[in-house]
Amino acid sequence: MKMYWLPLAFFILQSCVKDEGQLPVAANLSPGNVAPTDVVEDSDAPVIVVGTDPLFAQSWHLLNTGQTSYSTNPGTAGEDVNIEEVHALLHRGTGVRIAVSDTGVDTTHPDLDDNEIADSHRNYIFSNSSDWHGADPFPSDGEAHGTAVTGLIAAEGWNGVGSRGVAPEALWSAFRYIQDYSPGTSSIAMHLDQMEGDFDIFNYSYGSRECGFTPLVPSSHAKLLEGVTTLRGGKGAIYVQSAGNGFLASDNTLEGCTGYYANTNIDAELTSPHKIIVGAINALGLKASYSTPGSGIWVSAPGGEDGTTDPAMVTTDIQGCSQGLSIRNFLFPTAFDFGSHADNLLCNYTNSMNGTSSAAPVVSGVIALMLEANSDLTFRDVKHILAMTAVPIDLIALNTLNHPGGGALDLLGHQYDLRWTTNNAGRPFSNFYGFGRVNALEAVNEALIYSTDLGLYARTIDPNSDLTYYDSGTLVGVTIPDNSITGIVNSMTSFHNYIIEAVQVEFTTDHPKPSELAVHLISPGLTTSRLLNINSGVDDNIIATSTLLMTNAFYNENSEGTWSIQLIDGSNTDVTAASLTNWKLIIHGHKEPIPVGSESPPTAITGLVPNPLISLSTTVSPLFTITDPANASVLRYEVSIVDSSNNVVADWYSIQNSMTFTTTLQGTNVFADGTYTVKVRSVDIDEEVSTIPFSLAWTVNIP
């Protein structure tokens, strides 16, 4: 029999004691009798809080004075998001619209209700999709997460109750989305729908439960691309997502894993460059104990620790002492829980919200401030400003050079993590922190004066065919040595000279224990990024097949030149014949602006010599050699084939920017004897095609 009564008894006892306590001064506060400015108070005692938001004094993420935030230990003064001056200058996110896709929100909360976008909520709990929009998103019992997240973004400011959000005048809408799915519904349809709408920012404080390489849902990545290019009138919605809480094997609720050292690259949903992935830091200004690292992280923000020993986040909770975070922790309640503290008699707030779930909304709030300051910012502008203004932190700690799981998981001579590296473009980057702790004041200031032209977004995928230009093909004999610090290195050359915004790698290996593998990527600028670390504990039952990884470490470098992938097996468990069998490189970025007047779209291709002119059989792929003396500006070549009656056998399709290519002809007509015409045209980096395609008659004799 479980001891159901213990926590309940604890709660009742506390309530009884509370009844005899003095009515705290904070409870008497109202907009009419508050002081005009905030006064920071370090003590946890129920003293007079004279600020206009009584809990602001314990909101270390907004202003870290070394307060305890109702926990035992204090934080470190100054380790916050540098926001006080932003608010003082009246940048408060006014009018910016944020969708909080989460567990639902207590819409009647007095610290949230004035910022609610009425009738905009969604509730995906309904099996009929026509009922999703406009539905009440009030959460079920115990699902207080969304209310806490929303408060961190947009709790009202200077209203005499609670704390305040990072963007206290931003508008929020609640999507009740996280749920157990019913088989009469489609989680994929829900997923696509909650990425769409008239919002500036989408906050996603959730992630996968799996600890294996999760399957990539192509429609999800496609929807993101669509969202960042079409929403907000073409400026792009901003998608913010938490990195996860899976570091140090502490997250045992993940499916079927123990000894798991999470990485953002293990969750396919975190491998898109069209999301801003956020790591968490604590009140000491260090990586939070749980925060999942990875090369996909863009910036970090306060997420706190447990709230009992070390500060967590002070934010809104579902109202009342019968539900919510403030009554959840029976075994280790904080001083703020169960209505026992004078500052929280009604249990409308919590001091135990933590996780990267808390860090993401802090960043969403900062972005709201930026968009209020400059509504013309595109999604890529926002990312750029965040990266350029973030503060590198924790610069001297060395304790993560070794595997966090201990010596048995280390590989002698191998450095587990690179800590901060400065890339070839001069940008510091860390897998723990991304570009660093978000800096609200600098970000808003930069937004106000922003004039950078990032140019047109481009990526090394053919927009017409989804062909990835850089593909190793099937590799043979690229063996991964067991327990070796040198591992195996394979290289390919990029002809695109993009200014890098992100890089994705898709790799396939037959290694039976992907949990042992580190994947590193080395850029033409000789910057190394750890995409996966050795001995991650990732589920070995799921072999890495076309597994997509992403890194931001090469931001602003030039993409042209040799790229190398390195796979390192970090364990001596006698894997003898594992190989890297394929990898692809996808570069996201933009081109150097071309000086006005110097554009030169390609004209006719000359000098093409198909070689040899062969007789085809149904099993032969013809090999052509292209000679194009004027190919300097060519991005790719495209091929079309027509028969003698001018019927299209193969419509324009892309081939890589290579002087040699093979092609397998499609369609039945080509397999008849006859003469076909092969046309080749070039496409330059501005997607302009050559005006006169090269043509060549081609006689086919089927044996």
Task: List contacts with another protein (CB under 8 A).
Answer: 1-5, 8-9, 12-13, 16, 102-103, 129, 145, 177-181, 183-189, 192-193, 205-210, 212, 215, 219, 222-223, 226, 230, 242-245, 253-260, 355-357, 360, 513, 515, 537, 539-543
Q: Exposed, middle or buried: residue 501 (CB in 10 Å: 0-12, 13-18, 19+)?
A: buried
| Beta-bridge partner residues of 300 | 279, 437
If you search the block for the tokens 């996110």, which residue do you land on? 93
State the nearest-atom distance from the C-beta of 205 to another protein, in Å: 5
In terms of Cα–Cα distance, which of 208, 217, 186 is closest to 256? Answer: 208
Helix (H, G, I), strand (E, B) or coil at 176: strand
Query: Of the two residues 1 and 90, which places its CB atom closer to another protein in the complex?
Result: 1
**Toward another protein, which CB reaches closer, 124 or 470?**
124
Smallest separation (angstroms) from another protein to the CB of 505 = 19
Q: Which residues contact 520 (CB under 8 A, 6 or more apart)?
A: 528, 529, 530, 531, 565, 566, 567, 568
According to DSSP, residue 577 is labeled S
Q: Which is nearer to another protein, 68 or 581 (CB)?
A: 581
How many C-beta atoms surround the C-beta of residue 505 within 10 A?
Answer: 25
Residue with Cβ nearer another protein (1 or 449): 1
Torsion angle of the four alpha carbons 76, 80, 84, 89, in this order, in degrees rounded to the nearest 10: 150
d(CA 640, CA 105): 55
* Residue 79: CB minimum distance to another protein, A: 21
d(CA 147, CA 95): 20
> Least distance from C-beta 179 to another protein, angstroms?
6
Measured from the CB atom, the residue of 363 and 500 that comes closer to another protein is 363
Bridge-based pairing of strands 561-569 and 488-494 is antiparallel
The residue (of 243 and 447) whose beta carbon lies closer to another protein is 243
What is the closest distance, in whole angstroms, from the C-beta atom of residue 12 to another protein in the complex?
6
Q: Which amino acid is at 349?
A: Y
- The nearer residue to another protein, 303 or 524, going by C-beta atoms, is 303
Q: How far is the CB of 660 from another protein (least distance, A)?
A: 33
CA torsion sign for 457, 458, 459, 464 is positive
Instruction: Kindly tell me which of 160 and 279 has the beta carbon lying closer to another protein.
Output: 279
Q: How many whole angstroms separate alpha carbon 295 and alpha carbon 529? A: 7
Q: How far is the CB of 400 from another protein (least distance, A)?
A: 20
Q: Which is nearer to another protein, 257 or 478 (CB)?
A: 257
Q: Shortest CA distance to 528 belongs to which of 434, 398, 424, 435? A: 424
One-letter amino acid for residue 176 of the chain: R
Calpha distance 496→585 (Å, rounded): 12
- Residue 148 CB, shortest distance to another protein, in Å, is 10
Q: How far is the CB of 201 from another protein (least distance, A)?
A: 17
Rounded Cα distance between 163 and 401, Å, is: 38
**How many CA atoms lie within 13 Å of 698's alpha carbon, on the beta-carbon side?**
29
Closest CA to 362 of 412, 266, 290, 437: 437
Nearer residue to another protein within complex by CB, 182 or 627? 182
- Residue with Cβ nearer another protein (274 or 679): 274
Which amino acid makes up residue 209? Answer: R
Find out whether the peptide bond into 612 is cis, omega within 30 degrees of 0: yes
Separation between Cα atoms, residue 123 and residue 137, nearest integer Å: 5
- The least CB distance from residue 192 to another protein, in Å, is 5
Least CB distance from residue 244 to another protein, whole Å? 6
- Chain-centroid distance of CA 30 in Å reads 40
Q: How far is the CB of 18 from another protein (least distance, A)?
A: 12
Give the CA distances from residue 454 to residues 111, 383, 459, 500, 550, in Å, rounded to whole numbers and listed in that order: 39, 11, 14, 11, 20
92: DSSP letter: S
Cβ distance to another protein smaller for residue 141 or 180: 180
Q: How far is the CB of 538 from another protein (least distance, A)?
A: 9
| Nearest to another protein of 192, 485 (CB atom) | 192
CA distance 275 to 292: 16
